[in-house]
Amino acid sequence: LDFLSDEAVDDAWTVASYLCDADNLATFHASMWSRTANNQEVDSISHLAAASVAVRGVLFGNSHPTQSRWHAIRSPRLWQAEQLLRRNKNEMVRQRNEANRGLISSDISIMATEYKPMLLWLGSRAFEAPIYMEELQDCQIGEDTYDGTKMDEDVDDDIEDW
């Protein structure tokens, strides 16, 4: 594989071998020991040894760590978030007052969910209006380009009413 280095594959093999050894120790049965020893005590010791080997393999198996390619995600500082919230609230109140000409009947939540998106949409349309007007003036329709019929005139079509 091109995106994995040989050192990383060797480290993975080392960790896997430690984990296999730990699995073998965990499945060790006390019946192999002499009958004089307590079976539960031997099982407990084998499980503790298996856990130790597994932890050692995971902790010390990665001898060639690679550079991290991910940047840590940092949360915004509290004062930055509060400052931005205060600025947005003041802007919405200002826009509400401009839109209502002093009529204080709308709530800030209504302003944020209904008026602000509509004002943004209307603002973008108002910005694009001169472009549309120029296009309409360039595309004027003369009387020779259509046959003179109106949409509300009753034209005898081949479509039958059902």
Quick one: pLDDT at residue 26? Answer: 85
Overall average pLDDT of the 33-46 stretch: 67
Quick one: pLDDT at residue 54? Answer: 92
Inform me whether the pLDDT recorded for 137 exceeds 90: no
Quick one: pLDDT at residue 158? Answer: 57
- Single-letter amino acid, residue 133: M
Task: Give the residue, 80 or 125, on which the prediction is more confident.
Answer: 80
- Greatest CA separation found in the chain? 114
Percent of the chain with pLDDT over 70: 51
Most confident of 18-32, 62-76, 104-118: 18-32
Alpha-carbon distance values, 59 to 19, 62, 140 (Å): 11, 7, 77
- How far apart are alpha carbons 160 and 157 in whole angstroms? 8
Overall average pLDDT of the 95-112 stretch: 63
Quick one: pLDDT at residue 77? Answer: 74
pLDDT, tens digit (0-9, with 9 covering 90-100), for 64-95: 777 766 666 777 677 787 888 888 888 877 77
Which among 106, 78, 81, 76 has a CA at the least distance from the CA of 92?
106
Inform me whether the pLDDT recorded for 16 exceeds 90: yes
Alpha-carbon distance values, 12 to 9, 63, 95, 160 (Å): 5, 10, 60, 77
- How far apart are alpha carbons 32 and 24 in whole angstroms? 14
Mean pLDDT of the chain: 70
User: Given CA atoms 97, 99, 101, 105 in this order, what sign does their dihedral have?
Assistant: negative
- How far apart are alpha carbons 89 and 114 in whole angstroms? 15
What is the crossing angle of helices 78-100 and 116-138, to 10°? Answer: 60
Which pair of structure tokens corresponds to residue 119? 């004002």
- Summarize the chain as % helix, strand, coil (round to 5): 65, 0, 35
